[in-house]
Amino acid sequence: MIARRALTVALAVCSVTAAAAADDTWSNPFPGVRRLVRVTPSQRISALLVDLCAPGVSVRVTAQSERTRTVPAYGSLVGAQAAVNGGFYNTANQSQTDGFVLHNGASWGGTDHSYTGPIAFGDARVEIVPHERVEGPQPWMREAVSGHPTLVLGGAARDNSGDTSLCPRHPRTAAGLTANRRTLILAVVDGRSPPSRVGMTCNELAALMIDLGAHDAVNLDGGGSATMWMAGVGVLNRPSDGTPRTVSNHLAVYARGSGASPHCPAPAYRAAYVMQSFPLAVTTLDLAPGELSRGYLEMRNTGTATWTPARTRLGTTQPRDRSSAVVGPDWLAPNRAAAIDRMVPPGMTGRFNFTLRAPARAGEYAEYFNLLEEGVAWFSDPAQGGPADNVIQVRVRTVPRPDAGVMSMDAGTMTADASAGATDVPTDTGTDTSTDEGAVPVDLGAPTVDADDGAVPIVDAGDGGAADDADGALMGEPAGCACEVGRAGAAPSARGWLAVSLAALAGVRRRRRRSAA
């Protein structure tokens, strides 16, 4: 008889640890909710994996006025999509719970102590507090039920084999969270009905929760209280009492498919746009071939991890890690424009400083960027908070420099090069209306205006895109010409130089006609 019982125990353990031996059936009854039915020779397990970040998903716990109901009655009362039983309570007085219960920030029932720990939900936060940590209700908590013992903490199973009063094999209800706390795992194990429903020990339940993806997990009330209900289906498990038991408190799940997800935890890596010095992407940044534009992008850290210059970078996207056509001299790599300029804790703002260089070939170049934590995650990864890869964009347009002063002359007609924007100059009609005899002859082979004196111009996008020569020289000044500047600090334009040349040429022609006469 003893040997036969030992064999039954061995089979039960094997069925829990060897997932391949289980018959798993998955379904998606509601948006953001996956349902598992697992059947082994000795177990029947019902589980719900709830995406706390799916639209319309939230959790609700029993108010004091709603206590002492069956799980189906409570789920129907509050209009939930699913519900399970909550924590332990005094069967003689169900207002007395083992540990506190919290609904909408209001606590009722018992108090926290060293053998109970809650699973608590708040704004952008959810946590399982280990039972030995006595804190009581915290200001951030809005909904909570208490359980014991802690099954899994930090991804490691707790050894509760010494708890001989609570942890023998029984029907079980457990709640767990994945490492990113975005998925709530609810599991109910049938028991007290051998050989197909033998129940689990606390350690077996811990192994099950890890197998389902839990990083932290807690045991809730079990035995005849263990019940899982789903709207439109009814009770999913087989309660050991034969029918659902009236229990003190409950945990309900809403999965409406639209609306807020109040418990979705803030991701580790998320950023919000603040400002930039580069033009917005609706406007092109017009640069000459090879011209540089210095600027910055400011972002606010809205995640939970601190940004560091060593790892928080601005990388190219569309596709990711693409070598950019507008790489500036200060880029970390062809696919990394910059690192964040300082340590940026959550809630603070940092800056990416970098330079764009216009490609040599004329045309428009669109470049997309996103933040990434090097070697860890892109901010647009599914578990993170964005922005998306197609949001941060600059558009650089390479515009060839106009030839500012090349002139040509045919027989009796002198024209300015059309690339400078000048119009044809009429030929001399032979009528001299000028009394100016002091014009200086101009070498007609000389007057070309060099628009590039060899310095690389830099457009500082932070100053509105004003042109600024790298060494302070005036742009467009013809070499070797000591002409008077028309106004303080300003050089004549290309057309100004053309006008000076044309006036001098007119004077030469007048003198020649007079000499001939």
**219: pLDDT confidence band, cut at 50, 70 and 90?**
very high
**478: pLDDT confidence band, cut at 50, 70 and 90?**
very low
| Distance of alpha carbon 339 from alpha carbon 277, whole angstroms | 17
Domain spans, the chain: 2-255, 271-398, 407-459+473-516
Tokens standing for 193? Answer: 């009905």
- CATH H-level, domain 271-398: superfamily: Immunoglobulins (2.60.40.10)
Query: What pLDDT, in 10s, does the model give residues 463-475?
Result: 333 333 333 322 2
Lowest mean pLDDT among 223-237, 240-254, 462-476: 462-476
Sorted by sequence, the CB contacts under 8 Å of residue 36 that are 6+ apart come out as 24, 25, 26, 45, 46, 47, 48, 49, 212
**401: pLDDT confidence band, cut at 50, 70 and 90?**
confident
Whether the Cβ atoms of residue 231 and residue 78 lie closer than 8 Å to each other = no
| Distance of alpha carbon 350 from alpha carbon 342, whole angstroms | 7
Name the nearest CA neighbour of 421 among 454, 452, 449: 449
- The pLDDT assigned to 465 comes to 36
Write the DSSP symbol of residue 305: S
Q: 3-state secondary structure string, 210-249?
A: HHCCCCEEEECCCHHHCCEEECCCEECCCCCCCCCCCECC
**Rounded mean pLDDT of the chain?**
81
Query: What pLDDT, in 10s, does the model give residues 8-22?
Result: 333 344 444 444 468
- The pLDDT assigned to 441 comes to 35
The share of the chain scoring above pLDDT 90, in percent, equals: 72
- The pLDDT assigned to 403 comes to 57
**499: pLDDT confidence band, cut at 50, 70 and 90?**
very low
Strands 141-147 and 150-153: unpaired
pLDDT at 486 over 90: no
pLDDT at 428 over 90: no
Query: What pLDDT, in 10s, does the model give residues 295-329?
Result: 999 999 999 999 999 999 999 999 999 999 999 99
Q: Is the model more confident about 88 or about 512?
A: 88
Name the nearest CA neighbour of 223 among 204, 244, 253: 244
- The pLDDT assigned to 20 comes to 45
- The pLDDT assigned to 277 comes to 95
Going across the sheet that includes 57-61, the strands are 57-61, 250-255, 82-85, 228-230, 234-235
Query: Which among 244-258, 406-420, 494-508 has the top mean pLDDT?
Result: 244-258
Tokens standing for 504? Answer: 């001098």
What are the b/e assignments for 245-283, b being 16+ CB within 10 Å? bebbbbbbbbbbeeeebbbbbbbbbbbeeeebbbbebee
Judged by DSSP in three states, 77 sits in helix
| Distance of alpha carbon 183 from alpha carbon 51, whole angstroms | 5
The share of the chain scoring above pLDDT 70, in percent, equals: 74
pLDDT at 415 over 50: no
| Distance of alpha carbon 293 from alpha carbon 328, whole angstroms | 8
- The pLDDT assigned to 504 comes to 43
Lowest mean pLDDT among 34-43, 127-136, 374-383, 441-450: 441-450
Name the nearest CA neighbour of 136 among 114, 157, 161, 158: 114
| Distance of alpha carbon 108 from alpha carbon 94, whole angstroms | 11
